Amino acid sequence: MAIEPWLIWLIIGIISIIIEIFDPAVFFISFGIAGITTSLISTTGLPFWLQALIFGIISFVVFLFMRRVYERLLRNGKVETNVYALIGKTGIVTKTIPQDGRGEVKMGGEYWVAISQENIQIIQDEKIEVLAIDGNKLIVQKTN
């Protein structure tokens, strides 16, 4: 008793989707969709070599499409964490930042060493914006 081609493609599709669920690498989903689609197409009685070609083409096209979708989702949902989340935020100078020197700023409830991006003095109680991070120092500029 031989296994029907449509069943082989269906099994490939289901196993691939299960693998994708546990390892979301955007690779196996293309095999899953192609396997299920080829399973439906194979019921028309096409030769197996043509079914395999259709499987390959569908896998490739779905892979390219899903890759773009995932990249767009990842790029749009990117949220900086740790100290890099401070970039673009504002704070208050707690110890004057001298020209070409280090001072201190308060960001939220934390105190950070800071230097001026323009190498100008920023006096205590002035508002600043964080432009970048350099090691454990914030690079800041005075805001209006």
**Domains annotated on the chain, with CATH:** 5-76 (no CATH), 82-142 (2.40.50.140)
Tokens of residue 94, six digits: 């707690």
Q: Which amino acid is at 106?
A: K
Rounded CA separation 101/114 (Å):
9
Rounded CA separation 105/127 (Å):
9
DSSP 84: G
Each residue of 63-108: pLDDT tens digit?
Answer: 988 888 777 766 665 555 677 788 889 999 999 999 989 999 998 8
**Do 107 and 140 contact (CB within 8 A), yes or no?**
no
Each residue of 38-67: pLDDT tens digit?
Answer: 999 999 989 999 999 999 999 999 998 888
Rounded CA separation 80/119 (Å):
27
Element housing 110 (H / E): strand 110-116
Q: Which of 79, 67, 38 is nearest to 55 (CA)?
A: 38
Average pLDDT of span 14-20: 93
* 133, burial (CB in 10 Å: exposed 0-12, middle 13-18, buried 19+): middle
